[in-house]
A and B are shown apart, each in its own frame.
Chain A
Amino acid sequence: MADNGSKNKQSQGKGELVLQDVTRVFRLPGMPSCTTLKNCSFTVPRGSLTVLVGPSGCGKSTLANIAAGYDHPDSGKALINGKPVTGPGRDRIMVFQETALWPWMTVMKNATFGPTMLGGMNKAEAEQRAMALLEKVGLKDFKDKYPAQLSGGMQRRAELCRALVMSPQVMILDEPFRGLDVMTRELMQEYLLALYRETGLTMLFITSEIEEALFLGDRILVMTNLPGTIKTTVEVDLPRPRDFKVLATERYRQIKSEVMESLYEEGAKIFTKLDGAGDLMGSCRAES
């Protein structure tokens, strides 16, 4: 973590995240053991924005937790730049589903918390860097506010700043825009793309929304139902920078239907399992 100090900016944010044969079984007393992930392997290439989509409850968050180092696989491993992940570290920053800004710190204090950690930069330097990021996401005038004084969208932006200011090797975003209204969400996606374009950071973005995945990603990894593993990888070769016009292109629709087909197959399996209502699959397809 400390080996890439702030001087070497070029190599920063270009980490490679690899998951190899990751299996995770949850055992809770009084319940049958649950294999959440089974032999799950994928690579997030350097500087790519890879999106992970999957039906809800398929182990997406478990995967994120393993990549971030909060959880440990029962077998297999997660690697950052070839080095195995053993715990949370400053080279991988995770952005959570719910906002995890500390409510007792101002936006600026939140953003400079990481950089001023032991062995980090001094306060002035950290504030300068945080300021540059806050300015980019339009939070310059809100730096001395507490999170509770910000709107939901502003909180998410502040959280992105808190993560980006660390210039991590890999950024893991676990459904970061969930719970935001549609307008704010679209705005956030554009902010994220702008930040991605400028930093060239390696990002693993987890979502359950196909549109979001298509709009953001270079590649889309589609997960299966439990036990979760990667079902297909879809390359999104839509040109960047993307804006809403991309939604109208033929290529967009092609990729979307490809992803949807694969996703609904998984979604329909749950229903089939429940009551054998196989024709649900057909109705899902018709919708798309």
Chain B
Amino acid sequence: MNPYIVLGLLLMAALAVGAWQQKKKALLYEISWGHQIRKTLTSKSFLLQLGGFVAFILTWEVTVKTLGLPWFNRLPGPWECLLEWLSPDPAYGISIYTEDYYTHILYSTYRATTAFVLATLLGVPMGLLMGWSRKFYDYSYPLVELIRPIPPLAWVPLAILILPGDEPAVIFVTFLVAFFVTALNTLLGVESIDESYFRAARCLGADKRRLLFDVVLPGAMPFIFTGLQISMGAAWFSLVAGEMIAAQYGLGFLIWDSYSLIQYPVIVIGMATLGVIGWISSAAVRSVGRKLMAWRERELFGA
């Protein structure tokens, strides 16, 4: 397949998503679809968004190719990277047509997801417990505050020593960062709950279980989800760092390996892929959060 056809397909997919969103908005504001699209395309914010992309790509092209500034001239230009990414026969062996590309993505996604899920399953209860019980807070908080600032990469050697093989070590390092972010945000969330919500529950006779599930958990939910979004981002960055040091697959490995092999366009492909995946994953967390916190959404859109 021709890269231009693929490019066309991608553009069409993006347009379809955009059109669908426009249709939803048109329904919301009760105006015609065409009117809504015109409104968006001519809106200041859309033009600025577009302008940002164009400025970025242009700066890249100009500094790297047109002017060829010293040091910059070693980098691949945007067009070159895009063609390589979409090429059915890539010069350096990585493009959307190669199996390797997806193997790297799958490895990274698997590690990040595992770490993120583990961090959520352990971090949220940990945060709730810290916010819930003064005793547990006193017991754990100083320790957490001492361990948390240790950069994830500093854990890599110990993780490799303790855990069987590189794979769990990379996941562990990723998990650790996400865990602390989640736990501390959950704690903050519990602390942010207005005292009167607890008082009301107590005078209505709430037992501990109801208090936890009907007041503490939903009350902390906005902070928990902010935390999960941050932890998703943090998981990706420590994952890539971990993969650069101790892995045979994954996007972090791919980027570092391409550097060693002087396959510069592949570095850019890896980075762009990380950008897209990171954006998708935090959008996913956001949309789950929105579903769970319908009461808040209505607060913003409501009467």
Interface residue ranges, A against B (CB under 8 Å) = 1, 68-70, 87-90, 92-94, 96, 98, 100-105, 113-114, 117-118, 120, 146, 148-151, 162, 166
CB of B298 closer than 8 Å to a CB of A: yes
Would A148 and B197 count as touching, CB distance under 8 A? Answer: no
| Closest chain B residue, CB of each to CB of A150 | B303
**How far, in whole Å, are A148 and B301 apart by their CA atoms in the complex?**
10
21 contacts between A and B (CB under 8 A): A68-B203, A87-B202, A89-B203, A90-B203, A94-B200, A96-B196, A100-B196, A101-B200, A102-B200, A104-B296, A105-B218, A105-B295, A113-B204, A113-B214, A117-B204, A118-B210, A148-B296, A148-B298, A148-B302, A149-B298, A149-B303
Determine the chain B residues whose CB is within 8 A of the CB of A94 once the complex forms: 199-200, 203
**How far, in whole Å, are A90 and B219 apart by their CA atoms in the complex?**
22
Would B207 and A117 count as touching, CB distance under 8 A? Answer: yes
Q: Which secondary structure dominates chain A's binding surface?
A: loop
Determine the chain A residues whose CB is within 8 A of the CB of B214 once the complex forms: 102, 105, 113
Would B204 and A93 count as touching, CB distance under 8 A? Answer: yes
Determine the chain A residues whose CB is within 8 A of the CB of B298 once the complex forms: 146, 148-149
Would B293 and A1 count as touching, CB distance under 8 A? Answer: no
| Interface hub of A90, A94, A103, A162 (most chain B Cβ within 10 A) | A103
Closest chain A CB from B94 CB (angstroms): 47
**How far, in whole Å, are A88 and B298 apart by their CA atoms in the complex?**
32
| Closest chain B residue, CB of each to CB of A172 | B203
Would A146 and B295 count as touching, CB distance under 8 A? Answer: yes
List residues of B (189-210) whose CB comes within 8 Å of A's CBs: 194, 196-197, 199-207, 210
**How far, in whole Å, are A92 and B202 apart by their CA atoms in the complex?**
11
9 further interface pairs, Cβ-Cβ under 8 Å (given A104-B296, A113-B214): A90-B203, A94-B203, A96-B199, A101-B200, A114-B204, A117-B206, A148-B296, A149-B298, A150-B303
Determine which of B205, B218, B296 lies in contact with A102 in the assembled complex, contact meaning CB atoms within 8 Å.
Answer: B218
Would B205 and A90 count as touching, CB distance under 8 A? Answer: yes
Would B200 and A100 count as touching, CB distance under 8 A? Answer: yes
Determine the chain A residues whose CB is within 8 A of the CB of B294 once the complex forms: 146
CB of B138 closer than 8 Å to a CB of A: no
**How far, in whole Å, are A90 and B203 apart by their CA atoms in the complex?**
6
* A88-B202 contact given A146-B299, A148-B295, A148-B302, CB 8 Å threshold: yes
Would A117 and B210 count as touching, CB distance under 8 A? Answer: yes
Determine the chain A residues whose CB is within 8 A of the CB of B221 once the complex forms: 104
Per-residue CB contact flags for chain B residues 275-303 toward chain A (1 = under 8 Å, else 0) read: 00000000000000000011110110011
CB of B215 closer than 8 Å to a CB of A: yes
| Closest chain A residue, CB of each to CB of B292 | A104
Closest chain B CB from A179 CB (angstroms): 14
* A88-B199 contact given A114-B205, A117-B206, A117-B210, CB 8 Å threshold: yes
Would B203 and A93 count as touching, CB distance under 8 A? Answer: yes
| Closest chain A residue, CB of each to CB of B218 | A104
Closest chain A CB from B222 CB (angstroms): 10
Would B210 and A146 count as touching, CB distance under 8 A? Answer: no
Determine the chain B residues whose CB is within 8 A of the CB of A150 once the complex forms: 303
Determine which of A1, A68, A70, A102 lies in contact with B215 in the assembled complex, contact meaning CB atoms within 8 Å.
Answer: A102
| Closest A-B pairs by Cβ, 4 of them | A114-B204, A148-B299, A100-B196, A104-B218
Would A118 and B200 count as touching, CB distance under 8 A? Answer: no
* A98-B219 contact given A88-B203, A103-B295, CB 8 Å threshold: no
Determine the chain A residues whose CB is within 8 A of the CB of B200 once the complex forms: 94, 96, 100-102, 162
Closest chain B CB from A139 CB (angstroms): 14
Would B205 and A1 count as touching, CB distance under 8 A? Answer: yes
| Interface hub of A89, A146, A150 (most chain B Cβ within 10 A) | A146
Closest chain B CB from A81 CB (angstroms): 17
**How far, in whole Å, are A70 and B206 apart by their CA atoms in the complex?**
14
**How far, in whole Å, are A69 and B293 apart by their CA atoms in the complex?**
32
Determine which of A70, A100, A148 lies in contact with B194 in the assembled complex, contact meaning CB atoms within 8 Å.
Answer: A100
**How far, in whole Å, are A146 and B302 apart by their CA atoms in the complex?**
9
